[in-house]
Structure 1
């Protein structure tokens, strides 16, 4: 196999994968003018019209799209980064920005192989085509090369006597170094995959925590409202208006709870269903590559050529799979990059409608306003129940014939509880002689009296222990409602969502994007090193066979000469 022993042929063939893997992604990002010219000719040929007419039509369409985008109230996220030709829309430019619910956003990624025929490689989305093209070329070229070598070996056999000691030693050194490099690449894949998975797990954990925070706060608020519905002291209870508010808001809050729970379940299942196969593929691939590299070195050094060539064909298939998987990770990295840009742009304009709200569970402003209004109404009603009891019973100078309102109360008047709202739900300032939610229980304790067996006060005071327990329970309910409203306000004005996306942006862009690039780089390096290793298995086997044949021939000649 003369070509194999030629160092220039070996250098060119071994460099081909590296040149392909490094050239395609770079060349796709920056298209030469000649390719753009060819591209325009291809597009003008689609409708049978001239280039000028096609150019005018394209410019008119572009101006119309830009005008529509300017007139739209929605924020187009990552518009520049995602502006690329859409194969599903007659290769017009996609101007919808980052939008995971729009199939046209994914079209340039999914159908990126189509644009190879047209020479349209100007978008970052098409940069991910490089590993796939390399995989196809390798899958076709390498077996053709091996087949040609086999044909030449069978049809044009040559003498194998004689070998270069330096070439043999050099091929052995390269074989060992490449084997070590491939094993190191496999270990790098293990580390990158573990860190990528951990960053994904941290992201999911954070999202679930934030969703649980929303659900927990909303349900706590609703539980307080249910408790407020049943409050009452004696004949005094919550007005019917507030009871109706609780009934009406119950279904609304339950709907919010279900939407967040459904989102959590679906998102978690989607991520797991995507990551688990990918994780399995990476671990299996890295393990097989390390095993094949070790066995290849062992069989090559032992001179078991049939097993070496069998491993060459196995390695040929593994390299193809590895490049395909690296292309998937490059797609993931590009999608994560788009998302990072989209999040950062949204954080600059958090109040503008955008595609981000379509995939993140968020409570509609009308719903939050409804919850807020009902909470204020119920809070107002519970405080009024408390103050009515204090004014009409505890602070009343009732006589013994007043029935249940008389329990021999006497002494200083009990201060009223400050109502934070007026009847029309507007904010209200506390009067100087009123107590608030924080100090009411402590302040009222001073007005409690000792009671007899029948429940009447036997010491000065206006609150029996039972009455004190009942009104402090009302304070706890109204306090829970009042302190739960700031969270509802955060949901309504977007503060909670902005904080969540700000944290997600940091986690996504510093973790997942970085480690997905780790895995991609490791896969490309592993594929390239394995390519070199496959070639050097053949090279070393050739040198070893020549060396063994030469030594055997020399030994035979020597013993023949001695015997003579």
Structure 2
């Protein structure tokens, strides 16, 4: 008799995988952390690690410091110039050669061009941050949808177990083991727990990530794009490395966790055991009951013997057995017309009532077998590997592209604004000299 596997028995590979921790993108994330006495961060990609986040911020600190220094120095100089020009006007006329028509026109042209460049940089920055936010949100929604789809399949498998139990017990097949219902309840409980854990953990982390994306969108104008580039590139490399080592424990488990390996293995093996038990019980019921003229099952059956059901996990005899998928259609030819007392009044080996009961049992058994590949994917975490592979190939390129847009937009805006301010001072100075020169010429005339 088949029995469900003992959850206390684990393979060496399972035990090894439970205690294996893989560092994701260790080389890309190896950088000094100024908030940790300039020690290099070596723990790999991990959004939940404080030192990882501080190392990301540290990568942008030099540029931020340089930008602040430039802003302070240039701002102070600009204020001094404006103060001297407005509050301390010079009574000394500018020298005759102070005005240059070429410099005046050139400064005006370059001022116009850099102003246009600043406007263009702002448009690139605005468009880039919008597309980046849209792309990251789509990535997050794809990930959450995959988790919800897996959780939904887990619940459907659990429902199939429950339906199989109800139909099996309702069919009153005495050949089923006495603990048939208890075995199914045990697997069903673990499935329900795994489904809730997957859904709750993914929803919780997706909510936190979405809040982070919204905050990032608001603060994007004042935060260096280097941080975004470092973070997203590290995330994509981390997913690519996880795909190569899917069974190891990593920081990505906090985003999309694998289903517990023992639960997945128990469910897969349990489904095979339940299917085997039902197929064996149906075959015994048919061969020793319906195909025989036993007094307990006597309802005037006659005609050729009913073919048995083939266990989908074993080799089949096509001449004497039928598959779960074809059983209902084949057995319909062996059904007789029954009287009000439940006895056959035509040729056939089973009454419509028996046919309905066996057909329902075969249908739920086939449904349970249909989820076999899905359960196999849970054992080796294939669904998470496929999800991260899809993100790596379909979403990471756009994340990288739009991050570069933001970086380029910030660079263009900062350079254009800086030169625009300088050229504005030059242009205004030459404009004042030009006006003074025209005034002197008019006086001379």
TM-score by length of 1: 0.68
2:200 matches 1:262: yes
Are residues 1:428 and 2:314 paired? yes
Deviation at 1:85, TM superposition (A): 3.2
Correspondence 1:369-518 to 2 at 5 A: 369-398=265-294, 402=296, 405-420=297-312, 427-432=313-318, 433-518=320-405
Where does residue 74 of structure 2 map in the other structure?
142
Mapped partners of 1:234, 1:104: distance in 2: 61
Aligned to 2:113: 177
Find the residue that maps to 1:236 and give its secondary structure: coil
Provide the residue aligned with 1:103 in structure 2.
50
Residues 268 and 75 of structure 1: is their aligned pair in 2 closer, same or farther, counting only changes over 3 Å? closer
Decide whether aligned partners of structure 1 residues 92 and 363 sit closer, same or farther in structure 2, where only a CA change above 3 A counts.
same
Distance 2:293 2:231 in 1: 74
* Residue range with higher mean Cα deviation, 99-108 or 544-553: 544-553
Contact 2:279 2:311 in 1 (8 A): yes
Q: 1:74 pairs with 21, 42, 63, which one?
A: 21
- Could you tell me how far 1:234 is from its partner in structure 2? 5.0
Residue correspondence of structure 1 range 14-93 to structure 2 within 5 A: 73-87=20-34, 89-93=36-40
| Corresponding residue number in structure 2 for 1:228 | 164
1:397 is displaced (CA, Å) by: 1.4
Rounded to whole Å, the distance in 2 between the matches of 1:512 and 1:461 is 66
Matched-pair contact (CA < 8 Å) for 1:242–1:377: no
Does the Cα contact within 8 Å between 2:258 and 2:381 map onto a contact in 1? no
SS at match of 1:93: strand
Cα distance in 2 for partners of 1:363, 1:168 equals: 71
Distance of 1:534 and 1:263 partners within structure 2:
51
Number of matched pairs? 420
* Partner SS state of residue 230, structure 1: helix
How far apart are 1:393 and its partner, in Å? 4.1
Q: Distance in 1 between matches of 2:418 and 2:307?
A: 86
Contact 2:275 2:368 survives alignment (8 Å): yes
Q: Distance in 1 between matches of 2:243 and 2:359?
A: 43
| 2:136 corresponds to 1:250 | no
1:159 aligned residue (93, 96, 99): 93
Partner Cα distance (2:24, 2:122) in 1: 37
User: Structure 1, unaligned stretches of length 5 or more?
Assistant: 1-71, 113-125, 283-321, 421-426
Question: 2:23, 2:45 within 8 Å by CA — same for their partners in 1?
Answer: yes
TM-superposed deviation, 1:486 = 1.8
Q: Deviations over 1:85-105 (max 9, x none)?
A: 344554443332223333232
Deviations 1:36-81 (A, max 9, x none): xxxxxxxxxxxxxxxxxxxxxxxxxxxxxxxxxxxx9533332223
Q: Report if aligned partners of 2:301, 2:348 keep a CA contact under 8 Å in 1.
A: yes
Cα deviation for residue 277 of structure 1 reads 3.4
Superposed displacement of residue 230, structure 1? 0.8
* Rounded Cα–Cα distance in structure 2 between residues aligned with 1:280 and 1:94: 28
- Deviations along 1:506-545, whole A, 9 cap, x unmatched? 2343121221122112112112111222233333333333
Q: Is the 8 A contact 2:56 2:231 kept in 1?
A: no
Equivalent residue number for residue 256 of structure 2? 360
- Mapped to 2, the partners of 1:86 and 1:164 lie a distance apart of 52
Aligned pair 1:535/2:422, yes or no? Answer: yes
Match of 1:168 among 91, 104, 108: 104
How far residue 195 of structure 1 moved from its aligned partner, in angstroms, is: 2.6
1:248-306 CA-to-partner distances (Å, cap 9, x unmatched) read 22332222122221233223322321222333455xxxxxxxxxxxxxxxxxxxxxxxx
User: Partner residue of 2:9?
Assistant: none
* Pick aligned residue for 1:333 from 209, 214, 229: 229
TM-score, normalised by the number of residues in structure 2: 0.85
Contact 1:101 1:359 (8 Å CA) reproduced: no
Cα distance, 1:358 vs structure 2 = 4.6
- CA drift of 1:161 comes to 8.3
Unaligned runs of 5+ in 2: 1-18
Counterpart CA distance in 2 for 1:169 and 1:95 is 55
CA RMSD in angstroms comes to: 2.7
The higher relative CO (CA closer than 8 Å, separation ≥ 6) is in 2
Q: Distance in 1 between matches of 2:33 and 2:425?
A: 44
Residues 1:129 and 2:15 aligned together: no
Go from structure 1 to structure 2 and tell me whether the alpha carbon gap of 1:479 and 1:454 turns closer, same or farther (over 3 Å shift): same
**Compared CA separation, residues 257 and 141, structure 1 to 2 (3 A):** same
Distance 1:87 1:534 in 2: 33
